[in-house]
Amino acid sequence: MSDSKRLAGEKAIEFVEDGSIVGVGTGSTVAYFIDALARIRGRIEGAVSSSEQSTARLKQHGIPVIDLNAAGPLPLYVDGADECDPHKHLIKGGGAALTREKIIAQASQRFVCIIDPAKRVPVLGRFPLPVEVIPMARSMVAREIVELTAGQPVWRENVVTDNGNWVLDVHGLEITDPVALEQRLNQIPGIVSVGLFARRPADVVIVGGEPPLVL
Ligand SMILES: O=C(CO)[C@H](O)[C@H](O)COP(=O)(O)O
């Protein structure tokens, strides 16, 4: 598994443009991408990071970390996913970094998603859908989700996001219309962001293997 993650992460380097600022996601697959990025760090201006975890790894490698507000639109965002359907719609947020990941994906011209083969599914929902919530809204949002979907929200206790918020993981979903579900959930007050990347799916998906598959 970690070999396919490494192969996906290393393949994504081919999408990095010289002199650019690269958007960097979060997770164990992205860690391999950051390590590969370090080997070409002289060719890039720096990176915009989606989490404290990735920031620490980028800095360890001496890669300058740049504020998104100072960077402007990015040519490339590279990130992992928890699930990916045939339309390149994703579930993300297993690492609780979904909000910043979504912001950087939106700010990027091209989103290259790097996954191991186990992440490919015909329909999203086997992986519980992460939802970042303002702490005071947790119970209300959970009730709204129960009313709106067939899912069961479970509070990811002991996890506080980099933004100081909490995460609900919604179990038992079969997400046949990810765009509609993302839109509906986004309208509930108290939800900061939903780990569905359907309105802004990946542009390219790299599935790690020998050789990596580029979709
Ligand atoms: O969305 C994420 C973090 O919020 C990650 O991209 C996702 O959880 C995949 O992680 P990994 O590469 O470790 O399997």
- The residues spanned by each domain of the chain are 2-120+200-214, 129-195
Full-model pTM: 0.96
Q: Whose CA is nearest to atom 7 of ligand 1?
A: 81
pLDDT at 1: 58
Q: Which of 10, 83, 101, 182 is catalytic?
A: 101
CATH architecture, domain defined by 2-120+200-214: 3-Layer(aba) Sandwich (3.40)
- Choose the residue to mutate in 29, 89, 91, 169 for probing ligand 1, maximizing ligand atoms within 8 Å of C-beta: 29
H/E segment holding residue 68: helix 68-71
64: closest CA among 46, 38, 40?
Answer: 46
How many whole angstroms separate alpha carbon 166 and alpha carbon 38? Answer: 32
Catalytic residue list contains 101: yes
Q: Which of 193, 158, 152, 154 is nearest to 174 (CA)?
A: 152
Rounded Cα distance, 13 and 105, in Å: 17
Q: How far apart are CA 118 and CA 84, in angstroms?
A: 9
The CATH number of domain 129-195, selected from 3.30.70.260, 1.20.120.420, 3.50.50.60, 3.10.290.20 = 3.30.70.260
Statement: residue 2 has pLDDT above 80: no
Contact 54, 35 (CB under 8 A): no
Average pLDDT of the chain is 97
Would the annotation count 79 as a binding residue? yes
Per-residue pLDDT of 57-102, as tens digits, reads 999 999 999 999 999 999 999 999 999 999 999 999 999 999 999 9
- Give me the interface pTM, i.e. the ipTM: 0.98
pLDDT digit string (tens) for 119-172? 999 999 999 999 999 999 999 999 999 999 999 999 999 999 999 999 999 999
Domains 2-120+200-214 and 129-195 share a fold: no
d(CA 131, CA 57): 25
